[in-house]
Structure 1
Amino acid sequence: MKKYLILLLVHVLLVFPAVAGVYEDILHAAEQNETDKVIDLLRRGMDVNTTDAQGNTLLMIAARENNLELARFLLDNRANPNRRNRYGDTALMLATLRGHEAVAKLLLDRKADPNTPGWTALHYAAFENRPRIAALLLAAGAQVNAVAPNGSTALMLAAKRGHLEMVRLLVGAGAELNEIDSQEGTALDMARKANHTEIVEFLQRAGAR
Structure 2
Amino acid sequence: MKKYLVLSLLYALLAIHAVAGVYEDILHAAEQNETEQVIDLLRRGMDVNTTDAQGNTLLMIAARENNLELVRFLLDNRANLNRRNRYGDTALMLATLRGHEAVARLLLDRKADPNTPGWTALHYAAFENRPQIAALLLAAGAQVNAIAPNGSTALMLAAKRGHLEMVRLLVGAGAEVNEIDRDEGTALDMARKANHAEIVDFLRRAGAR
Specify the TM-score bucket, using the shorter chain as the normaliser: over 0.9
For the structure 1 residues 2 and 113, does the alpha-carbon distance in structure 2 shift closer, same or farther, using more than 3 Å as the test?
Answer: farther
Mapped partners of 1:8, 1:53: distance in 2: 29
Aligned counterpart, 2:38: 38
1:120 aligned onto 2:95: no
Aligned counterpart, 2:129: 129
Moved over 3 A (4+): 1-8
Mapped partners of 1:105, 1:69: distance in 2: 13
Aligned counterpart, 1:180: 180
Aligned counterpart, 1:52: 52
Q: Given the two structures, how large is their TM-score scaled by the length of structure 2?
A: 0.97
What is the number of equivalent residue pairs in this alignment? 209
Q: Given the two structures, how large is their TM-score scaled by the length of structure 1?
A: 0.97
* 1:149 aligned counterpart, secondary structure: coil
Mapped partners of 2:7, 2:50: distance in 1: 29
Q: Which runs of 5+ in 2 are unaligned?
A: none
Counterparts of residues 50-129 of structure 1 (less than 5 Å): 50-129=50-129
Render the CA deviation track for 1:71-125: whole Å, top value 9, x for unaligned: 0000000001111111111100000000000000011111111000100000000
Mapped partners of 1:48, 1:198: distance in 2: 47
Mapped partners of 2:3, 2:145: distance in 1: 65
Counterparts of residues 10-21 of structure 1 (less than 5 Å): 10-21=10-21
Aligned counterpart, 2:205: 205
After TM superposition, give the deviation of residue 145 of structure 1 in Å.
0.3
Mapped partners of 1:33, 1:126: distance in 2: 27
After TM superposition, give the deviation of residue 9 of structure 1 in Å.
2.0
Render the CA deviation track for 1:54-74: whole Å, top value 9, x for unaligned: 110000000010000000000
Write the letter of the residue equivalent to 1:204. R
In angstroms, what is the RMSD of aligned CA positions? Answer: 1.1
Q: Which runs of 5+ in 1 are unaligned?
A: none
Write the letter of the residue equivalent to 2:171. V
Aligned counterpart, 2:23: 23
* Identical-residue share of aligned pairs (%): 90
Write the letter of the residue equivalent to 1:44. R
